[in-house]
A and B are shown apart, each in its own frame.
Chain A
Amino acid sequence: MSTTSGSSRRALQTGPSGWLAAPALAFFALFAIIPLFGVLFLSFTSWDGLGEIKMDGLSSWTTVLTDPVTGNALLVTAKIMFFSFIVQAPISLLLGVFTAAGQKYRAALAVLYFVPLLLSSAAVAIAFKALLDPNFGLGAGLGLPFLAQDWLGDSDLVLFVVVFVIAWQFVPFHTLIYQGGVRQIPASLYEAAQIDGAGRVQQFFNITLPQMKYTIITSSTLMVVGSLAYFDLVFVLTGGGPGYATRLLPLHMYLTGFKANDMGAASALGVMLVVIGLALALLLQRLGGKNRNASQMEGA
């Protein structure tokens, strides 16, 4: 990949016609760009979802920005984002490295690890809600008092339960990314390291990790930006409660729009979500360095 010559680069650029992107772009415009402008417009109106849409200037924005619940939603979202990353990144990196190797039992385990990803978020949430029920759940059923805690009803505990369930569902996905990343590292690097007398731990830190730089950035971006989109799982699991303890920004937007029927304020929240998501994605790309087409071999 590092030996791309001038001529083949031009061939790449003139290669596939730009028109091939047209169908995807058309759908993207229809379902993402146009609604986005719709939401931006609605954020300057007041609308209860039924009657007429009235222009209302900045009042939705002042409502949203002065509402302490919005601040709390931002804080909860940031916490979930941070803890999700701290929990998911190391686990999926290690699992990815583990499952990348060729042994049969590892392949079998990789298939098992993959299962949660195949389940819908709503199903995962309903299952965990039943398991964690303090009166009828796993703890009560097995007679284990430790497991019979009020997992979803305790304002301080619930955040970590949500982080755990999210990790349970999404670690397999990131494991898959890392597995693919590890498999692309040339075996010759490891052979050379072995000859030089490097142990497994040294190989991991000096070859695997640096070689995976861009895989890590990819996975981290998905984790961080994805945190802004957690909705279905949390909605079914806790409904944003108890109180406002797990009312994430997207959930806050939904409840404002569809429960309180304040579409203006919900749209303002939606615009906030887009801006924050874009900013985070761009920031993470910057962290990855500008010259991202450079060889990954240099890291070794």
Chain B
Amino acid sequence: MIKQVFELLFGADPELRQIIGVTLRMSVMSTLISALIGIPWGVAMGANQFKGKAILSRITNTLMGLPPVVAGLIVFLMLSRSGPLGKMSLLYSVPAMVIAQVVLISPIIAGMTANIVSIRAPSINETCAGIGISGWKRLLLTIKECRIPFVTTILAGFGRSIAEVGAVQMVGGNIQFKTRVMTTAIMMQTNMGRFELAVALGVVLLIISFIINSLVHRIQEQTQRDRTA
């Protein structure tokens, strides 16, 4: 089996390459869109005090733990023929999988961003108030100070996206050469007893996960060094 796994990994199996391609396309797209939604959402929550912040924070925390199958169900119902977005005919396509991923990942990025910003914001706000800096300029300074940790949140979002299975299975349908991604393929191949492809995909997923974790670790170490130097 090990020999077959290596042949798949280093060979030119069209299905494996296609699965990896779809997975990366879906994960990159959903992470970017989630970052565009989650970072401003998190900055708004972390940098400011406003009425309703506590309830928004609670909603965000709840959504951070949203079960993937629930996210999948919501998006499925929205995109199904009788749903409000049914006319777009997106169900069982990569965009549908991206939408489901965005529903799952945006709150995670928002929650992490809010935590990062809320640590620095009180001191930045107080300092800026003392020298007459307010509004957008203060907000831009806050964002600039948090830019490196923001990369960590985006990488964490990508890590979550690439490893997700429940929601993408529901709205993507795991269609061969169309919406099959690494996680859904591993599940299916395991059920079918074709362990070689499942293990080969598992190895690729682990390698990607290792690279992401190494990057996050490096960024965190660098940030720590900057703060304590």
Q: Do A and B bind each other?
A: no
- Which A residues contact B (CB, under 8 angstroms)? none
